[in-house]
Amino acid sequence: MLYPVIMAGGSGSRLWPLSRQLNPKQFLPLLNPELSMLQETIKRLEGLDIGLPRLICNEQHRFLAAEQLRQLGMEKANILLEPIGRNTAPAIALAALQAVDDDADAILLVLAADHLIEDVAAFQQSVAMAETLAVAGKLVTFGIVPGSAETGYGYIERGEELVQGGFAVSRFVEKPDLLTAQQYLASGRHFWNSGMFMFRAERYLQELGRHRPDILSACRASIAGGEQDMHFTRVDAQAFAACPDDSIDYAVMEKTTDAVMVPLNAGWSDIGSWSALWEASEKDSDGNFFKGDVLQENTHSSYVHADHRLVAVVGVDNLVIVETKDAVLVAHKDQVQSVKKIVDQLKRDQRHEHTNHREVYRPWGMYDCIDNGARYQVKRITVNPGAKLSVQMHHHRAEHWIVVSGTAQVTNGEKTYLVTENQSTYIPIGQVHALENPGVIPLELIEVQSGSYLGEDDIVRFEDKYGRVKPNN
């Protein structure tokens, strides 16, 4: 059977300030207001004869990923957690090792969670062709039919045409300069490297063992020492940290003699920058894309995203303007690749804007930091029906809770009681406490923290229904 393996571990830093470390672009509804990029990736598989997808993501994104799968009715899909990034060759090896344990003949369709594919029918036709080749023992990569001379993509040069369809891979080529890219476009023999693959899980492991036995050995040890936590698979962190860092292209595809390519002409983009998102978006007669409360005068070829307030643009061309609650980006479309440099500055200065939005999602709901000062912080907290925060205490802060809507069940030391709308309660420093929503509607409350230290790492957890055993999870 065909099993999708969806790689969802990227950071998407070039799409800051929407994409953040703890809520990167694959989990955002960038093109479809109803679906995230990850959810769109899964939805385009509908109609294919496939098993449940296997998602690979970072530990810190586990609850975000689980919730988005739940929204699609895929609560039983397995989520494989990487304790540290080790590139695509080891990540796919982990998925392959799991797959062969479940199905010795498993075929993996490896997809990125953050790609745009406009023509789903054409995509599925290419998948069908690739499956025939994968069954025959080939390692298939999908080559994007190029529409322009791009210098930001690697290329695949096709070899001889195969009887079953597709082409042998002549060679993989690194990102070229503009002149070389123009020559590639004119040749008709070169395709963009999509980073999507299909092969029998066992064949991939055989080729990985032949060309990079050190990676395969480390991955086997990681799986053997791992554990299952609900629908999460946690590999052995120490064993995986010892695994070499390498891509599937370098580790396997450039070395194997069984690499083949299936062309894909389906309106593909990796949405790797704001300019790419502008190109993929539906624009008005002046070439503008506006989202949110935007007023414009004499503006052309621009992308303007207003999240929370009015944004007015006058007499500008070729700009990207993105407004969020805590940051505003203004960039020329020709310079958007440099947004990553801003993110690097934020990291160096240890600013939170590269990590979180003001709104932070947790497995029980979310909170929004609406104000803060030297010794206080105010949050708006939403707790989902039936959800419960961990039993915890703080060494440095007290908390006041005021219920705005819904009903809170509060554990405050030895006491447990209900707090309803327009009522409040107080949690002293050092008091063991918990908060739960026993109702059927979301619980909304205002939390006022006061104390000498208000960081999220001042949490000592005693019990947690979501398996969080470390602070700041």
pLDDT computed for residue 469 by the predictor: 61
Residues 57 and 199 placed together within one structural domain of the fold: yes
Residue 353 lies in a domain: no
Query: What residues are paired with 378 via a beta bridge?
Result: 371, 448
Residue 296 lies in a domain: yes
Residue 65 lies in a domain: yes
In the numeric block, which tokens belong to residue 400?
Answer: 């006041």
Range of the domain at 88: 2-268
Identity at 9, one-letter amino acid code: G
For residues 232 and 55, give the distance between their C-alpha atoms in angstroms, rounded to a whole number: 10
Residue 43 lies in a domain: yes
In the numeric block, which tokens belong to residue 366?
Answer: 């979310």
Q: Of the residues 234, 268, 302, which one is the last residue of a structural domain?
A: 268
Provide φ and ψ at 158, rounded to 5°: -80, 150
Residues 253 and 316 placed together within one structural domain of the fold: no
Domain with residue 393: its CATH number is: 2.60.120.10
Residues 374 and 242 placed together within one structural domain of the fold: no
Domain with residue 25: its CATH number is: 3.90.550.10
Residues 233 and 294 placed together within one structural domain of the fold: no
Residues 48 and 85 placed together within one structural domain of the fold: yes
For residues 461 and 431, give the distance between their C-alpha atoms in angstroms, rounded to a whole number: 12
Pairing of the two strands 328-332 and 319-323: antiparallel
Q: Of the residues 228, 251, 268, which one is the last residue of a structural domain?
A: 268
Query: What residues are paired with 264 via a beta bridge?
Result: 144
Rounded mean pLDDT for each run of 10 residues along the chain, 473 residues in total: 93 93 94 95 95 92 90 92 94 96 94 96 97 96 94 93 92 93 93 96 97 97 90 93 95 96 95 94 97 97 96 98 96 95 95 89 91 94 96 97 98 97 97 97 98 92 80 45
Report the candidate in 255, 56, 17, 263 with the shortest Cα–Cα distance to residue 145. 263
Residue 352 lies in a domain: no
Residues 374 and 391 placed together within one structural domain of the fold: yes
Residues 257 and 283 placed together within one structural domain of the fold: no
pLDDT computed for residue 470 by the predictor: 55
Residues 286 and 379 placed together within one structural domain of the fold: no
Residues 187 and 319 placed together within one structural domain of the fold: no
For residues 215 and 225, give the distance between their C-alpha atoms in angstroms, rounded to a whole number: 15
Residues 308 and 378 placed together within one structural domain of the fold: no
Residues 169 and 44 placed together within one structural domain of the fold: yes
Q: Of the residues 315, 341, 367, which one is the last residue of a structural domain?
A: 341
Residue 419 lies in a domain: yes
Residues 208 and 326 placed together within one structural domain of the fold: no
Total domains present in the chain: 3
Residue 350 lies in a domain: no
For residues 86 and 89, give the distance between their C-alpha atoms in angstroms, rounded to a whole number: 8
